[in-house]
Amino acid sequence: MNYKIELFPDAIKEIGESAYWYESRVDGLGSYFIDVIYKSFNVIALNPLAYPKKKNYREFIVKKFPFLIIYEFLEKEGVINVLHVFHTSRNPKRKYARK
């Protein structure tokens, strides 16, 4: 099935800020980061139930960067809501925070 991926405002902000940070360190690294994140979304969409569930959300470990994608899968609606693209050095208590 083809699931719709929706990014919450925090996730959009986290992707942008992280890409900017990586790009400021090495030319092209920010674009590469965005590419890896969006490829990760495609992997999640193939089998959204495959990843560990914690506190009603699921966590996908991003390869090549120290990030988790925190999402909820609304199976009946066919939607994957991405809450956070969460850097693993941040306070883990904030992983599931919704604003």
- Tens-digit pLDDT string for the chain (99 aa): 679 999 999 999 999 999 999 999 999 999 999 999 999 999 999 999 999 999 899 999 999 999 999 999 999 999 999 999 999 987 766 776 765
pLDDT value for 55 = 85
Q: What is the pLDDT of residue 98?
A: 67
Distance, CA of 83 to CA of 61 (rounded, Å)? 14
Question: What is the pLDDT, as a whole number, of residue 75?
Answer: 93
Domains (range + CATH), the chain: 4-88 (3.30.2310.20)
